[in-house]
Each structure stands twice: as structure tokens, then as C-alpha cells.
Amino acid sequence: MYIVHNRIDVPADQTDAFEEAFTTSMRTTLDGVTGLTRTTLLKPTKEGQPWVSTMEFATKDDFMAWLGSDSFKAAHANVKAPGMQAPAGIESFDVVSDVDPTA
């Protein structure tokens, strides 16, 4: 599994509009993306923390393919959407261990 985090600094006065725009984009542009198993948007619990978008792909190749896809272009097409101008920090990880405590 290949996981990508995008830490997004959103100005306090834009958080509601950012949340709406980002979740709408997730719902409308990610259906059927090859290898995408899960995506989440995490809202900070303390002022000054970034929002975090997490995407879980089966492989790094699936993620790289998404970067060149129509889905990616559609998800990032509205450069005026709240938060799209905010600084972001991309981090990527290979999963070493995944424990399901309910299993």
C-alpha cells in the first residue's frame, strides 16, 4: 500500500468554504480511480494546524498514474476554490505494518 498525505494550510476565514469545496471535489472526481482504496479529509482540532488529505493507493504506480489522469486534472481545475491557493506539503509513505485490532 502507498499512502500520500497533503498538509494544507487554510486561512481561518476560509475553512467552511474549503471543507465544502474539497469534499465535493473528492465525491465527484475520485470515483473509479485505479488502485485508490481510501481517501479522507482530516480537519484540524487545534487552531494553526493544517488540514490533511490522505489518499491510500494499492501501489505507487497507481498514484503516479492518477497524477496524470483526467480525474487529477478535474480535482485541481478550480484554482479559485477556497484553499487551492494555500501552501501545501505532500508526504508519501510505503506501509510497513497494518494492524486490524478487530480481526
Task: Residue 57: give its domain's CATH number.
Answer: 3.30.70.100
Q: Return the bridge partners of 57, or none.
A: 2, 36
Cα separation, 80 vs 60, in Å, equals 29
Tally of CA atoms within 13 A in the half-sphere of 103 that contains its CB = 3
Cα separation, 26 vs 42, in Å, equals 13
Domain that holds residue 55: 2-85
101 is a domain residue: no
Q: How confident is the model at residue 1 (pLDDT cuts 50, 70, 90)?
A: very high
Q: What is the mean pLDDT of residues 36-54?
A: 94
Answer whether residue 91 shows pLDDT above 90: no
Q: pLDDT for 54-73, tens place per residue?
A: 999 999 999 999 999 999 88
Lowest mean pLDDT segment, chosen from 3-17, 28-42, 52-66: 3-17
Q: How far is CA 68 from CA 42, 62, 65, 75, 93, in A?
A: 25, 10, 5, 12, 20
Could you give the number of structural domains in the chain? 1
93 is a domain residue: no
73 is a domain residue: yes
